[in-house]
Chains A and B, each alone.
Chain A
């Protein structure tokens, strides 16, 4: 089992550029979560999907953020345009209701200059 896969691991970009973060959940998991970790706000949920359908996107900061899950094995989180305050570590996690556990990917460290 490869675990949750995220790419890229690190991303440095300039303000105003588009950023796309990618996630491959564990095979067989039907839930996928995007969390953001910052020093100021800690770990917070951005959005999550069940069976590829967005369930709760109330944590998405603003219209600059969008997330998609076109199939059970892939999700993207896009920021357009990016701003320095978006600098953070973005985690993807997947899980199943039967285990009540979420398994986290290694995270993507985003730096917007």
Chain B
């Protein structure tokens, strides 16, 4: 069975600074997908970034980037130039690829609460 571990329950950072959130996972699959979701106080789940395991290049989305280390089964999220609006819970998630055109479920970590201070 797949598991996702986020070892940092809480993190804080000053605005305009950079912060890295950690995530490790365990799987015997060779191909899969990894995601970071953001959940602000509104509780809406917002996709931040995704990474396909077969791609060696790390994904980036504006101020958000990942460091994907497949051999180490590590998938960290770097937030550059942090903003107050980045304050939220961040969840790392794993998904196996679709089989026979059937999307699989997301397996979530326990989350990291990020507080951005002015």
Interface pick from B20-28, B75-83, B105-113: B105-113
Chain A 82-113 residues near chain B, CB threshold 8 A: 89, 91, 93, 95-97, 100-104, 106-107, 109
Chain B: minimal CB distance from A43 (Å): 4
Number of A residues, CB within 8 Å of B: 26
Identify whether the interface residues of A are mostly helix, strand, loop, or mixed: strand
For chain B, residues 39 to 90, give those with C-beta under 8 angstroms from any C-beta of chain A: 42-47, 50, 52
Contact residues of B between 83 and 118, Cβ < 8 Å to A: 91, 95, 97-98, 101-103, 105-111
Q: Is A28 an interface residue (CB 8 A)?
A: no
Chain B residues packing against A (C-beta within 8 Å): 33, 35, 37, 42-47, 50, 52, 91, 95, 97-98, 101-103, 105-111
Residues A50 and B102 in contact in the complex (CB < 8 Å), given A89-B43, A106-B43: yes
A18 at the interface (CB under 8 A from B): no
- Residue in chain A with minimal CB distance to B102: A50
Chain B residues contacting A96 (CB-CB under 8 Å) are 103
Q: Which listed residue, B97, B101, B108, B110, touches A100 by the CB 8 Å rule?
A: B97
What is the chain A residue whose CB lies nearest that of B107?
Answer: A45
Min Cβ gap A76→B in Å is: 19
Query: With a CB–CB cut-off of 8 A, which chain A residues contact B103?
Result: 30-31, 48, 50, 95-97, 100, 102
Q: For residue B105, which residues in chain A have a CB less than 8 angstroms away from its CB?
A: 33, 45, 48, 56
Extra A-B contacts (13), CB below 8 Å, given A43-B91, A56-B105: A31-B103, A42-B108, A42-B111, A43-B111, A45-B105, A45-B107, A89-B43, A93-B106, A97-B103, A100-B103, A104-B37, A106-B43, A107-B45
